[in-house]
Chains A and B, each alone.
Chain A
């Protein structure tokens, strides 16, 4: 069991690690180990509009998607977690539905639907589509957080003289903030990474980074892809490691040695 486990670790780690040296390679096509190293493709990435524009498009689209997703999901989450009413289980299922539909299926739908609305190849079109795909993920994260929320905290606030609005602003929102941030982050990443729908509807004008990468890999395997892959990989590395590091720093400088750190939550 142990040996198999180690083999699996290598299997998972190898592809993640390999893109980093590849990005510094001076080979014109895929070659590993690289014949030599340089920073040329980094320079190429940061100066080439045909790469920078999709990157910028992706950031704008993901940001807009996140805002729209959260605006829709937060109230819905409160309704579904805090209230009991007829049709609740159907509403619950509806929130998850976009996860159950293969992206290729809905991509075909968007191609025709957004075409009718004259929204294909526009940023707005991609944002509208991506929001649907981000909703279930944001919803799952936030509702898990909201379910764990102790409602006695709100009752306590009210008994202490806080009106419903004050209770929401002073107690509910601050305590829920980590959940909201993570939920928004998931929505952002979902949109930023989404490929299939983007391939079908983003076109030239609203071309996203994944679409550009897909085309590039399919056609010529531009070595710049290794650069982007490395940058994305490092971004993920930072995002995943940051909370651990932060906790480490916090515990080192904590005022007291008393508390046991709460187990890593969601």
Chain B
């Protein structure tokens, strides 16, 4: 089954301001897709249009080929977990989970039983009688998840659900959400501005910027082959180096670095202005130039130690460079010194946009 959910050129305008410009995307059944982007990039607006809380100015949302545009939010059968969970404060956890079943006319005893089962699945056995304010943030999160899943929705939407949790709990919930999603096989859209969350959870990441999709691809492809400068800069750490193609077969030139070799993936033309991407962890630090690699002399300005690794910030001429090295390697240099950095041609990725 491909194309379970289709976004067909969705556009959203507020007066003269365009929040979304012809967003087009196909999502497979059971897929876990993350909408990633800075705030105001249009990812939440897209989510609200899918859910039916916002009306698109143009375009259509289809599930299994059927348009949703005529349906009110309560007719769409879509489960949503909100950023602040939006648990009903006057209902206990199990009543919260029972609510969608109640709305579907399922009898109380049967519905409460099913709700309790769902709570068990999300790891909240025995806490069903508590009110939301008597639960911790992580527990509330699980109730919200159970509530959004108990009625077997055709789609699960998660709107930055982990934003309010602290770091440890967040990582735990990432694994937990992924586990539950796999168990139930529900097609899921996860909205976040946290790139590490997107990398660790998704089958596919959709990067939003200024109301447009920049790239939609697997996490690894997004990381290693970003299609635009924005994607390269937004995901992971990066050295983005302006350069000009001197040989379409694999040479580019930057005033500070000189000529760099690279392995071309798309057709380029000579004299074209491009951006070279070199990830900091692909650069090696040494005392002397290394055979078989592109070498450059870097003036070290700052060393930030993280224990197991360190970030070395410096300059090659007037070009700022960042190098990520293992903790053990950092002892060979000191701030203010000059050292040698080097990389392989395969580490250089050319971005033409």
Does chain B have a CB within 8 A of A150?
yes
Flag B39-80 by CB within 8 Å of A: 1 or 0 each. 000000000000111000000000000000000111011111
Contacting residues, chain A, for B135 (C-beta < 8 A): 258
Which of B81-89, B212-220, B311-319 sits within the interface?
B81-89
In chain A between 39 and 94, which residues have their CB closer than 8 angstroms to a CB of chain B? Answer: none
Q: Would A160 and B130 count as touching, CB distance under 8 A? A: no
Contacting residues, chain B, for A163 (C-beta < 8 A): 72, 74
Flag A148-164 by CB within 8 Å of B: 1 or 0 each. 00101101111111111
Q: Would A152 and B84 count as touching, CB distance under 8 A? A: yes
Q: A160-B99, A161-B77 are in contact. Are A152 and B82 (CB under 8 A)?
A: yes
Chain A residue, CB-CB nearest to B79: A159
Instruction: Report the bound CA distance from A55 to B99 in whole Å.
Output: 46
Q: Would B99 and A255 count as touching, CB distance under 8 A? A: no
Contacting residues, chain A, for B78 (C-beta < 8 A): 159
Chain A residue, CB-CB nearest to B80: A159
Q: A175-B89, A255-B129, A259-B133 are in contact. Are A160 and B84 (CB under 8 A)?
A: no
Does chain A have a CB within 8 A of B100?
yes
* Chain A residues touching B, majority SS: helix
- Count contacts on B: residues with CB < 8 A to the other chain: 33
A-B CB contact pairs (8 Å), 28 listed: A150-B86, A152-B83, A152-B84, A152-B86, A153-B86, A155-B82, A156-B80, A156-B86, A156-B88, A158-B52, A158-B74, A159-B76, A159-B78, A160-B148, A161-B77, A161-B100, A161-B151, A162-B74, A162-B103, A163-B72, A164-B74, A170-B99, A175-B88, A175-B89, A255-B134, A256-B130, A258-B134, A262-B133
Contacting residues, chain A, for B74 (C-beta < 8 A): 157-164, 166-167
Instruction: Report the bound CA distance from A152 to B148 in whole Å.
Output: 14
A-binding residues in B (CB < 8 A): 51-53, 72-74, 76-80, 82-84, 86-90, 99-100, 103-104, 129-131, 133-136, 147-148, 151
Contacting residues, chain B, for A243 (C-beta < 8 A): none
Does chain B have a CB within 8 A of A171?
yes
Q: Would B134 and A259 count as touching, CB distance under 8 A? A: yes
In chain A between 217 and 247, which residues have their CB closer than 8 angstroms to a CB of chain B? Answer: none
Does chain B have a CB within 8 A of A174?
yes
Q: A175-B90, A255-B129 are in contact. Are A160 and B103 (CB under 8 A)?
A: yes
Instruction: Report the bound CA distance from A164 to B134 in whole Å.
Output: 28
B-binding residues in A (CB < 8 A): 150, 152-153, 155-164, 166-167, 170-171, 174-175, 255-256, 258-259, 262
Q: A150-B84, A153-B86, A171-B88 are in contact. Are A160 and B147 (CB under 8 A)?
A: yes
Contacting residues, chain B, for A155 (C-beta < 8 A): 51, 53, 73, 80, 82, 86
Contacting residues, chain A, for B86 (C-beta < 8 A): 150, 152-153, 155-156
Instruction: Report the bound CA distance from A251 to B196 in whole Å.
Output: 41
Instruction: Report the bound CA distance from A160 to B100 in whole Å.
Output: 5
Instruction: Report the bound CA distance from A229 to B266 in whole Å.
Output: 90
